[in-house]
Amino acid sequence: MMTLFRRAVLPLAAALLALPVSAMAGQRSYAATHGAAPFVTEHLIPGSDLDLDQVDRTLPQARVVALTIDDGPDANDPRILDILRAHGAKATFFYIGAKIPAHHDIARLVAASGNEVGSHTETHPMTTDLPPVQREWNLAQAEKALASVGVTATWFRPPFGDVDEALAALARRHGMATVLWTADSQDWKDSGPDVIRHRVTERLVPGAVVLMHSTKASTVAALPAILEEGKRRGLRFVTMSEWDAAMRQSVTPEMALLHPAPRRR
CATH of the domain at 177: 3.20.20.370
Identify whether 57 is part of a domain: no
- pLDDT at position 137 is 99
Confidence of residue 30 (pLDDT cuts 50, 70, 90): very low
Measured at the alpha carbon of residue 83, what is the angle toward residues 81 and 88, in degrees to the nearest 5? Answer: 90
Contact present, 183 and 208 (Cβ < 8 Å): yes
Which range of residues forms the domain containing residue 212? Answer: 76-258
Where is pLDDT greater, at 30 or 100?
100
Q: Is 54 inside a domain boundary? A: no
Give the C-alpha distances (Å, rounded to integers) separating 16 from 4, 10, 74, 184, 231.
Answer: 15, 9, 33, 18, 35
Active-site annotation holder among 70, 77, 184, 244: 70
In-domain check, residue 246: yes
Query: Does residue 19 sit within a domain?
Result: no
Q: How far apart are CA 10 and CA 20, in angstroms?
A: 15
Q: What pLDDT, on a 0 to 100 scale, did the predictor assign at position 33?
A: 38
Contact 201, 227 (CB under 8 A): no
pLDDT at site 138: 98
Judge whether 213 counts as a catalytic residue.
yes
Give how many domains the chain has, as a whole number. 1
Q: Give the distance, in angstroms, between the CA of residue 259 and the centroid of all CA atoms in the same chain.
A: 24
Question: Does residue 234 fall inside a structural domain?
Answer: yes
Report, as an integer, the average pLDDT of 167-185. 95
144 lies in some domain: yes
| 89 part of a folded domain | yes
Q: What are phi and psi for residue 238, nearest 5 degrees? A: -135, 170
pTM of the full predicted structure? 0.84
In whole angstroms, what separates CA 46 from the centre of its chain? 12
Give the pLDDT of residue 52. Answer: 84
At 231, which helix (H) or strand (E)?
helix 217-232
Please report which confidence band the pLDDT of residue 102 belongs to, taking 50, 70 and 90 as the band edges.
very high
In a domain, 51, yes or no: no
Segment holding 93, helix H or strand E: strand 92-95
Determine which one of 103, 120, 124, 213 is catalytic. Answer: 213
Look at residue 3 and tell me whether its pLDDT is greater than 70: no
